[in-house]
Amino acid sequence: MVITGPVSPAAEQRAGVSRGVLDTPVGVLVVESDGAAIRRVGWSARAARPSGGDPLLAEALAQVAAYFAGSRRDFDLPLDLGPQTEVTLVVLRTLFETVDHGETMTYGELAERSGTGVPARAIGSIMGANPIPLIVPCHRVVASDGLGGYSGGEPGQGLSTKRWLLEHEGALPAALF
């Protein structure tokens, strides 16, 4: 897996962006690829129009479907996080490379592990800047006293989406009701 920084707008326009849609237990996911890397994952309140015959996009959708089916624990895809600060890139790389399926880490632990010197509170903002949630698993970063926040999921469903993902991975016990 390779995580890169920004691709120039001209290169993005030449390559084109393909979109794929996957219905999941936590809503409709839209995955975007430029043919060289996965550039974005997000939730849509309504189904987006899929486009293109991009083999990388097809592979990404297959890996995400396998994750939700319980037969895949990690992702092996080239990723482009787009224009981010160097600190944000370091923190997101650290998260991707060191927090495995079924594990959680607090915002403070991730701040320390990344070696960036950013305070724990800033880690929450960095998680919110993650353009590739689920694959770069920001849902695995929790507060020292609970779940913390989550901006993924369908509108208004962030925390329930985070809880579902962590339960699915075995990092949290399933809710009783």
170: left (phi over 0), alpha (psi -120 to 50) or beta: left
Is residue 15 very low, low, confident or very high in pLDDT (cuts 50, 70, 90)? low
pLDDT on residue 6:
45
Is residue 174 very low, low, confident or very high in pLDDT (cuts 50, 70, 90)? confident
Question: pLDDT, tens digit, for every residue of 81-105?
Answer: 999 999 999 999 999 999 999 999 9
Task: Note whether 148 and 133 are within 8 A (CB).
Answer: no
Residue 10 has pLDDT above 50, yes or no: no
Residue 167 has pLDDT above 90, yes or no: yes
Question: pLDDT, tens digit, for every residue of 37-58?
Answer: 999 999 986 656 666 688 999 9
What percent of the chain clears pLDDT 90, i.e. is strictly above it? 75
Which residue type occupies 19?
R
117 is catalytic: no
Catalytic annotation, pick one of 138, 141, 166, 171: 138
Mean pLDDT for the chain? 88
Domains by residue range for the chain, with CATH: 3-79 (3.30.160.70), 85-168 (1.10.10.10)
State pTM to two decimals. 0.87
pLDDT on residue 53:
81
> Which of these ranges, 5-9, 31-35, 96-100, 139-143, has the smallest mean pLDDT?
5-9
